[in-house]
Amino acid sequence: MNGKYRYLIMAMIVFMTVVNYVDRGAISYAQQAIIEEFGLDPKSWGEILGYFGYGYMFGALFGGMLADRRGPKYVWLLAGTAWSIFEIGTAYAGDIGMALFGGSALAGFAVFRVLFGLAEGPTFSTINRTMANWAAPKEKGFATALGLLGTPLGALLTAPIAVAILSVTNWKNMFLILGIIGLVWVIVWAKMFTDLPEDHPKVSKAELAEIRSKEDLLKSETSLAEAKQIHVPWYAFFKNPTLVMNAIGYFAFQYVNFLILTWTPKYLQDTFDFKLSSLWYLGMIPWIGACFTVLIGGKISDALRRRTGNLRIARSGLAVVSLFLTAVCFMFIPAVESVGAVLALMAIGNAFNFLPNSVYWTVIIDTEPAKAGTFGGVTHFFTNIATIVAPTLTGALVASSGYKAMFVAAAVAAAIGMVAMAFVKPGRSNTISGKSITS
């Protein structure tokens, strides 16, 4: 890699995140077959989609702490193996529920979706720990964005991959195939990754010097080595307004993200009478722009940091503007009627939603680099309440008020996130050391 081995590590994380997102989103494309086979209604289906979030929240919380204590490699291998196994188990969830839980397929899916979410939960807090260990100071925004690229890319590829598999086999085999792919990634990752670049034989001295450089640090930033010398308890998160408001902003992002991921296929089928064969490309449209903006946002954030020397402008300022534009796009969707206009507004709104995706994680690294995994996990715990609320609330809104209500709810969520991010002040001046905030 000519002294850039860390970029190969980042590329493998992108691939893993794609697998992760395809695994969690594929069930949305099997919804018609599953609903018909087990006699489910929209409310029950919304609950099944929402059960994932219960496990995901706690997986994020404890996975981040575990990544700080045991190292990211341990968590990667444990989580990747577990979610792949539970993905395979989803193929039999309904039958297991019928056999073991009083004839309730819903209970069977609930168990496997919660366990699957628990196993996938550590992903992004572990990415944050990995980037804090491996990324150079000047590239933190882009490196984090690159790690998060797998989110929209995975969501984009979920539609063609799921539909392609479903066109040649049944929904149960789809889960088997996806689970096996995850296990293959785990085997490869075990051979090529180490917790720290210092421990990897393919990282040159020049690259390591670049990663650990202090020359590019702003006055409001601190190095990983310096941060590790300061004891910061996990509960200090709740004493830091910047980290709390950042979590609320990230909640808004996740609400919109998970709404589109879980309900777009059914919305298109119910509202515009599209068949499964059409969803392979229609389901991709809302994610096209996001695949670019997630990276562009990281670049913009790094550029603003470099040119202004102000982390608040570079991080929270970018998020405020982006969430405002997201809210505007989703608020306009109920006013249009054509599928083209709806998909265009969804795509543009989602692109703006993903523009500051890296910001929520970079704020944590900027503020508490030594606790990037733990505080990333706490952030993700509260953020992922949205993975329960978005699909479950949407099911209730659709049943009572129709599909237009779900887009209004998305706009309201984005607006709340915008307000929260206006109060975010990242950097060392907001780092909590022991019992007080240092200056």
pLDDT digits (tens, 9 = 90+) for 245-267: 999 999 999 999 989 888 888 88
- Once rounded to an integer, what is the mean pLDDT over residues 161-175? 93
How is residue 336 annotated by DSSP? -
The highest-level CATH class for domain 5-437 is mainly alpha
Rounded CA separation 368/223 (Å)? 10
How is residue 313 annotated by DSSP? I
162, 242, 336, 365, 368 from 128: Cα distances, Å: 28, 17, 39, 8, 11
Lookup: tokens for 183: 């296990």
The residue that leads in pLDDT, 288 or 125, is: 288
CB atoms within 10 A of CB 164: 12
pLDDT of residue 437: 40
Q: List residues bridging with 432 in a β-sheet.
A: 437
| Beta carbons of 351 and 209 less than 8 angstroms apart | no
Which of the residue ranges 99-108, 186-195, 371-380 would you say has the lowest mean pLDDT? 371-380
Q: How confident is the model at residue 347 (pLDDT cuts 50, 70, 90)?
A: very high
pLDDT of residue 435: 42
Rounded CA separation 290/256 (Å)? 12
The percentage of residues in the chain with a pLDDT greater than 70, rounded to a whole number, is 92
Task: For Cα atoms 195, 201, 205, give the angle at the middle one, nearest 5 degrees.
Answer: 95
Task: For residue 433, report the phi and psi dihedrals to the nearest 5 degrees.
Answer: -115, 110
| Beta carbons of 315 and 424 less than 8 angstroms apart | yes
Rounded CA separation 336/275 (Å)? 22
Rounded CA separation 94/105 (Å)? 4
pLDDT of residue 399: 86
pTM (two decimals): 0.73
pLDDT of residue 376: 83
Rounded CA separation 230/224 (Å)? 10
